[in-house]
Structure 1
Amino acid sequence: MMPMTIALIAEATGGRIVPPTGGAQVPQAVATHTVSDSRLVGPGGVFVAIKGERVDGHDFVAGLGARGAVAAIVDHEVAGSDVTQIVVADTVAALGDLARRDIELRRESGEPFTLIGLTGSVGKTTTKDLLKALLSTMGPTVAPVGSFNNDIGLPLTALKVGEGTRYFVAEMGANHVGEIAGLTSIAPPDIAIVLKVGVAHLGEFGSVERIAQAKSEIVRGLRPEGVAVLNADDAHVAAMASIAPGEVLWFGADPAHAGEDALTARNIVTDDADRASFDLVAADGSTAHVALGIPGAHNVMNALAAATVARRLGMALDDIARVLGEQRRISPHRMAVSTVDDAGARFTLIDDSFNANPDSMKAGLDGLARWGSGAATAPYRIAVLGAMLELGGDEDGLHRAIGAYAAGLGVDHVIAVGSTSDPRLDELAGALAQGALQSGMDGADVDHVHDTAAAESIVGRLASEHPVAVVLLKGSHASGLSALASRWAPGE
Structure 2
Amino acid sequence: MAKTKRLQFLEAMLRWMSTVVIKKYRPDIVGISGSVGKTSTKEAVFTVLSSKFRVRKNLKNYNNEIGIPLTIIGAETGGRSILKWLVVFLKWLGIIILPYKYPEILVLEMGVDHPGDMKYLTSFIPIKVGILTNISPSHLEFFRDIDHIAGEKGKLIEAVSEEGLAVLNADDKKVLAIEDKSDAEITTFGFGDSAQVRASDVDFNYTNGKIEGLSFKLNYEGKFIPVRLNYILAKHQIYSVLAAVEAGNYFKINLVDAVTSLENYLAPPGRTNLIKGIKNSFIIDDTYNSSPASAVAALEVLKELRSIRKIVVLGDMLELGKYMEKGHREVGHKVFEIGTDLFFAVGERMEAAVKEVQDLGYPLQNIFYFENPVLAGKKLQQIIKEGDLILVKGSQGMRMEKIVEEVMADPQKAEDFLCRQSGEWRKKPFVKP
Question: Larger deviation: 396-405 or 272-281?
Answer: 396-405
Structure-2 residue corresponding to 1:127? 41
Tell me which residue corresponds to 2:205: 271
Contact 1:279 1:289 in 2 (8 A): yes
**C-alpha distance in 1, partners of 2:184/2:301?**
37
In 1, are the aligned partners of 2:115 and 2:142 still within 8 Å (CA)? no
Secondary structure of the residue that 1:311 maps to in structure 2?
Answer: helix
Which residue does 1:144 correspond to in 2? 58
Q: What is the aligned partner in structure 1 of residue 413 from structure 2?
A: 491
1:452 and 2:390 matched: no
Hey, what does 1:386 align to over in structure 2?
315
Residue by residue over 1:59-94, the C-alpha shift from the partner in whole angstroms, topping out at 9 and shown as x without a partner, is xxxxxxxxxxxxxxxxxxxxxxxxxxxxx9425x45
Task: Give the one of 367, 377, 386 matched to 2:301.
Answer: 367
Taking structure 1 as reference, are residues 457 and 263 closer, same or farther at Cα in structure 2, changes over 3 Å only?
same
- Give the aligned partner of residue 168 of structure 1: 106
In the alignment, which of 193, 196, 210 is matched to residue 134 of structure 2?
196
Deviation at 1:221, TM superposition (A): 4.9
Would the aligned equivalents of 1:201 and 1:390 in 2 still touch at CA under 8 Å? no
Quote how far apart the aligned CAs of 1:119 are. 2.4
Using the alignment, how far apart are the partners of 2:254 and 2:296 within structure 1?
A: 33
What's the offset of the Cα at 1:199? 5.4
Aligned-residue RMSD, C-alpha? 3.5
Spell out the pairing of 1:83-482 with structure 2 (5 A cutoff). Answer: 89-91=5-7, 93-109=8-24, 113-160=27-74, 164-185=102-123, 187-198=125-136, 200-201=138-139, 212=150, 215-222=153-160, 227-255=165-193, 258-259=194-195, 262-272=196-206, 273=211, 275-282=213-220, 284-296=221-233, 297-325=235-263, 327-341=264-278, 347-358=281-292, 360-371=294-305, 373=306, 378-389=307-318, 394=323, 396-418=325-347, 426-427=348-349, 429-434=350-355, 436=357, 441-463=362-384, 466-482=385-401
**Which residue does the alignment assign to 1:26?**
none
Between the aligned partners of 1:431 and 1:177, the Cα distance in structure 2 is 38
- Counterpart amino acid of 2:184? G
1:247-294 Cα deviation digits (max 9, x unpaired): 322100133xx34xx111122221132522122111x22332211132
What is aligned with 2:79? none
In the other structure, the counterpart of 2:82 is none
What is the CA distance between 1:171 and its match in structure 2? 1.2
- Please give the alpha-carbon distance, in whole angstroms, between the structure 2 residues aligned to 1:434 and 1:205: 37
Q: Alignment identity in percent?
A: 26
CA distance in 1, matches of 2:184, 2:267: 32
Change (3 A) 1:176 1:157: same
Contact 1:408-1:439 at 8 Å conserved across structures: no
TM-score by length of 1: 0.66
The CA deviation at 1:129 is 1.6
Q: CA deviation at 1:467?
A: 4.0
SS of the counterpart of 1:349? strand
How far apart, CA to CA, are the structure 2 residues paired with 1:213 and 1:433? 42
Cα 1:182–1:441 shift into 2, 3 Å: farther
Cα deviation, 1:398-445, whole Å, max 9, x if unaligned, reads: 444333334333333333322xxxxxxx43x34444555566644544
Identify if the C-alpha distance between structure 1 residues 223 and 446 changes in structure 2 by more than 3 Å, giving closer, same or farther: farther
Deviations 1:136-178 (A, max 9, x none): 1332111024533244433321222976321111112344444
Task: Name the structure where helix makes up a greater proportion of residues.
Answer: 2
Give the distance between the partners of 1:338 and 1:451, measured in 2 at CA: 22
The one-letter code matched in structure 2 to 1:158 is I
Farther off after superposition, 128-137 or 142-151 = 142-151
- Give ranges in structure 2 of 5+ residues lacking alignment: 75-94, 415-433
Query: 2 CA distance for matches of 1:474 and 1:308?
Result: 31
CA distance in 1, matches of 2:249, 2:63: 24
Partner of 1:90, secondary structure, is helix
Q: Confirm or deny: 8 A CA contact 1:365 1:406 kept in the other structure.
A: yes
Is the contact made by 2:14 and 2:66 (CA closer than 8 Å) also made in structure 1?
Answer: no
Query: TM-score under structure 2 normalisation?
Result: 0.74
Greater relative CO, 1 or 2 (CA 8 Å, sep 6+) = 2
For residue 16 of structure 2, give the secondary structure of its aligned residue in structure 1. helix
Checking the alignment, whether the CA contact within 8 Å between 2:140 and 2:146 is kept in structure 1 is: yes
Aligned residue pair count: 380
Distance in 2 separating the partners of 1:249 and 1:436: 46
- Tell me the amino acid that sits aligned with residue 271 of structure 2: R
Any conservation in 2 of the 1:194–1:231 contact (CA below 8 Å)? yes
The answer to whether the 8 A contact 2:31-2:156 is kept is: yes
CA distance in 1, matches of 2:140, 2:365: 33
Q: Which has the larger radius of gyration?
A: 1
Q: Are residues 141 and 404 of structure 1, via their aligned partners in 2, closer, same or farther at CA, if it must alter by over 3 Å?
A: same
